[in-house]
Structure 1
Amino acid sequence: MGKGYSLGYTKGMNAVHVIGAGLAGSEAAYTLARLGLRVRLYEMRPYRMTPAHHTPQFAELVCSNSLGGEGETNAKGLLQAELRAAGSLILRAADRHRVPAGGALAVEREGFSAEVTRTLEAHPQVEVVRQEVTELPEGVVVLATGPLTSDALAEHLRALLGPHFLSFYDAAAPVVLGESIDLSVAYRAGRYGQSADYLNCPLNEEEYRRFYEVLTQARKHTPHDWERLEFFEGCMPIEELARRGYHTPRFGPMKPVGLPDPRTGKEPYAVVQLRAEDPAGRMWSLVGFQTGLKWGDQKLLVQSIPGLEKAEIVRYGVMHRNTYLCAPRLIEPTLQFRAYPHVLVAGVLVGVEGYLESAATGFLAGLNAARLALGLVPTLPPEESMLGGLVRYLARANPENFQPMNANWGLVPADEGPGKKSERRTRMYRRGLERFRAWLAEVGEPVQA
């Protein structure tokens, strides 16, 4: 941010409250502060620790130390570039503390978190308050408490938001890129001739046998002790169904009844249904395929399904403890609550998955919180940018089956031009970054080199 830059901070203005100092909250607080707003940043650690955190540092990385792949053909690479253009604290700290990781941006954990903490604690516009918040304070608020939101605050949010606030053990199925599905095999149909909203991948008896072998030989994720996995019948992992018997998946999510293959006129031996994840049909999830398998084994399993042999997985299935909102029912693309527009939400709580995505939504929530505090209209990045595509997805996804999402090429309009996939994605990267930079200039955000 340029020296002395401000959107118009007035001395004496009430502070904006940021609750949670993870990656999203830290980025939101920094964005507000560098725009000249006073910030009150709440973090309950170390006075109240979570089962996952080990230090009182801000932006602690509790799982992997990677912020995703880099480069012009990588969706996360575009999001990284957008955050760098916006002057992100998280990306600046990551670049300074990076460690060799091939084509990924990985960091040395302690140095990374220490820099973020130091920067915010030393900032003259930031007041750090080390205490648990159990109710939303008055005024403009950025809520960024993460997947392990404290019980007291979760109950307060539940009372405000009703049943749309979700707090359970997250069960998600893999999501594949629509353009990677073989439509010469997969066919559109709904059961018994109902609305053909699903894609169906048919399996004959031999194909099902091979699929079952891959499934039963796959390795399962070993949870952290704080995840305490509990399975519910309504979201039973596909591997647990297979453990109950060879035919159990065929009488469950892979039931072929009412789905005749139009090429044969007969019902297949088994079928895998795919449901659109977005209105444009760029991404499709495997219905009933909640899974906790290791990612490499998930890829083998998905690509063993006819029609998905070359499927590109944009989000892997997970089974872990999570607390997040049903964003499509509650959130505007600007990250404001529809019912409480002075409250913005960012990070895992709003329904994103990943460090980078958390930081990116923290930036936008911070920017829009600043604009609200100054009486300006909240703003939205262009749909061609990765951040713009991500927040539009959060607000417009199917609320009935909403699951957290990470950065992927299915979130932005495809490039329909000629060339290989890598060439098209390079053009998408350059288009998205160019339009993101132009948007930053339009809203008065100095663009970083």
Structure 2
Amino acid sequence: MAYDVHIIGGGLAGSEAAWQLARRGAKVRLSEMRGGGGNTPAHQTDGLAELVCSNSFRSDDDERNAVGLLHHEMRRLDSLIMRAGEVARVPAGSAMAVDRDLFSAEVQKALEDHPNIEIVRERVESLPDHGLTIVATGPLTAPALAESIGRATGAESLAFFDAIAPIVHHESIDMDTCWMQSRWNKGDGKDYINCPMDKEQYLAFHQGLIEGEKTEFKQWEADTPYFEGCMPIEVMAARGVDTLRYGPMKPVGLDDPRTGRWPYAVVQLRQDNKLGTLWNMVGFQTKLKYAEQVRLFRTIPGLEKAEFARLGGLHRNTFLNSPVLLDRQLRLKGAEHIRFAGQITGCEGYVESSSVGLLAGLMAAAELGGRSWSSPPRTSAMGALLSHITGDAEAESYQPMNINFGLFPPLHDVKKKQRKEAYTERGKADFGAWLSEMEAVPA
């Protein structure tokens, strides 16, 4: 099929970009190396938009939460990722979590069924020298293509480590010890499995994390930093004995039915598939060696006989210094026929990656149609994230970033307790006005 835009990478960002372009009449070639002679250290299937870490898109509250506002904006633009997420949704309190296999299947089917999209299983090893291109290969870009990007940018990519949390078979969890409850009874009230720890158990577990045998780094990996939003649990533990009790193991808002009180610490598991047979350990991304994970995690009350569908892992992620290398339309300076999208730009998180792919698709569609492009307002979630990636961030200290209200223009004249609502009200109004103006322009 002759095509208008070549998208390299069939993850969340590439899939969303293809969807947005195809809906606007553009012919798209979507290249994905998995299934075509390539793979990554983290992926387990050939499915498009495979979720390799958590199965959560985080908070779906669009009244007081930046990521919830991003969900709202994506839905207004008919995001394929959000559409598939609703189909594959599983209980997770006020968060949006999905059955990862069903989610991937929904995305892939939608793209396969669209007459304007051709999915090609192939490994692209260098940047095209002509033609509109969107590179959405993610933080695990294949070495040959990464080298091509390095030659084109004239600068080395930054890098960080990303860790994957273990997944447990539900039938192996002792529900006489554990109980089901969402923190503060949000959502359905029983969306998480909670494994309680007393002080002695917690201190022993903490010590086990510190002393456990861990994956060793190669020479070239030694100076690669961790991303704060996906910190291995043993690295958090090393920061202080109570760090985990104020982080992923905090017990507040969870009443142990056996005591009627909050435990000293708690390990939470969140449903990972639609059937409820698989549950992931929330916040337990780790670089512990496999045997050590099994030994230590089976000391958690209720997980003494745990069977793991997947153990935790660690991989090196790379991303561009986007404030230096990309223009305001995500185009590579000096090679404007190439756009970058998704995590390789330095955004962090599933919905953030998807939203940047969505924007790249809209930008390319406008360029194809000879229309001028107007970015979403900085007061919106999409606009704030785009501004951070393409120029607002300090280039020397640029790191992957989740969407948060710290990226929005401040509201100093609003009382602190009312700012979250004020940010979302302003964002929704301004985004709605931008969307009306964009839709008024003929396609």
Is TM (by shorter chain) over 0.5? yes
2:428 pairs with 1:433: yes
**Equivalent position SS for 2:81:** helix
Q: Which residue of structure 1 lines up, in the alignment, with residue 194 of structure 2?
A: none
Question: For structure 1, which segment, 317-326 or 71-80, has the greater mean C-alpha deviation from structure 2 after superposition?
Answer: 317-326
Amino acid at match of 2:386: V
1:247-286, aligned counterparts within 5 Å? none
2:331 pairs with 1:336: yes
Change (3 A) 1:393 1:129: same
Amino acid at match of 1:393: H
> Structure 1, unaligned stretches of length 5 or more?
1-11, 173-212, 238-284, 305-316
User: What is the TM-score normalised by the length of structure 1?
Assistant: 0.66
Counterparts of 1:363 and 1:438, CA distance in 2: 18
Q: Which residue of structure 1 lines up, in the alignment, with residue 269 of structure 2?
A: none
**Equivalent position SS for 1:17:** strand
User: Structure 1 residue 220: deviation in Å?
Assistant: 6.5
1:409-448, aligned counterparts within 5 Å? 409-421=405-417, 423-444=418-439
Deviations 1:5-51 (A, max 9, x none): xxxxxxx9842011101000000000000011111111111132212
Counterparts of 2:349 and 2:211, CA distance in 1: 18
1:57-136, aligned counterparts within 5 Å? 57-71=47-61, 72-136=63-127
1:106-185, aligned counterparts within 5 Å? 106-137=97-128, 138-166=130-158, 168-170=159-161
2:363 pairs with 1:368: yes
Counterparts of 2:142 and 2:39, CA distance in 1: 10
Deviations 1:310-361 (A, max 9, x none): xxxxxxx998511110111101232122222221111110111110100000
Change (3 A) 1:76 1:136: same
Deviations 1:365-397 (A, max 9, x none): 000011122222333110001111111111221
User: Structure 1 residue 119: deviation in Å?
Assistant: 0.3
Between the two proteins, the alignment pairs up a number of residues equal to 331
Contact 1:221 1:292 (8 Å CA) reproduced: no
Contact 2:64 2:420 (8 Å CA) reproduced: yes
Deviations 1:394-444 (A, max 9, x none): 1221111211111111010223344452x3201211211221121122122
Question: For structure 1, which segment, 363-372 or 325-334, has the greater mean C-alpha deviation from structure 2 after superposition?
Answer: 325-334
Change (3 A) 1:333 1:302: farther
Contact 1:37 1:370 (8 Å CA) reproduced: yes
Contact 1:65 1:109 (8 Å CA) reproduced: yes
Amino acid at match of 2:410: A
1:32 aligns with one of 21, 28, 31? 21
Change (3 A) 1:334 1:126: same
**Equivalent position SS for 1:407:** coil
Contact 2:322 2:389 (8 Å CA) reproduced: yes
**Equivalent position SS for 2:318:** strand
2:396 pairs with 1:400: yes
Q: Which residue of structure 2 lines up, in the alignment, with residue 323 of structure 1?
A: 318
1:386 aligns with one of 364, 376, 381? 381
Q: Which residue of structure 2 lines up, in the alignment, with residue 51 of structure 1?
A: 41
**Equivalent position SS for 1:433:** helix
Counterparts of 1:439 and 1:119, CA distance in 2: 27
Contact 1:229 1:320 (8 Å CA) reproduced: no
Counterparts of 1:14 and 1:230, CA distance in 2: 43
Amino acid at match of 1:136: L
Counterparts of 1:73 and 1:341, CA distance in 2: 37
User: Structure 1 residue 73: deviation in Å?
Assistant: 1.3
User: Structure 1 residue 221: deviation in Å?
Assistant: 12
**Equivalent position SS for 1:163:** coil
Q: CA RMSD in A?
A: 3.6
Change (3 A) 1:371 1:231: same
Counterparts of 1:295 and 1:429, CA distance in 2: 34
1:21 aligns with one of 10, 14, 19? 10
Q: Which residue of structure 1 lines up, in the alignment, with residue 311 of structure 2?
A: none
Change (3 A) 1:93 1:338: same
Amino acid at match of 1:409: F
User: Structure 1 residue 163: deviation in Å?
Assistant: 1.9
> Structure 2, unaligned stretches of length 5 or more?
164-202, 247-284, 287-313
Deviations 1:90-137 (A, max 9, x none): 001101211000111000111111010000011011011110111223
Change (3 A) 1:83 1:223: farther
Counterparts of 1:384 and 1:366, CA distance in 2: 21
Quote the sequence identity (%): 42
Counterparts of 1:438 and 1:139, CA distance in 2: 32
Q: Which residue of structure 2 lines up, in the alignment, with residue 254 of structure 1?
A: none
Change (3 A) 1:143 1:220: farther
2:340 pairs with 1:345: yes
Counterparts of 1:334 and 1:220, CA distance in 2: 45
**Equivalent position SS for 2:155:** helix
**Equivalent position SS for 1:42:** strand
Contact 2:42 2:315 (8 Å CA) reproduced: no
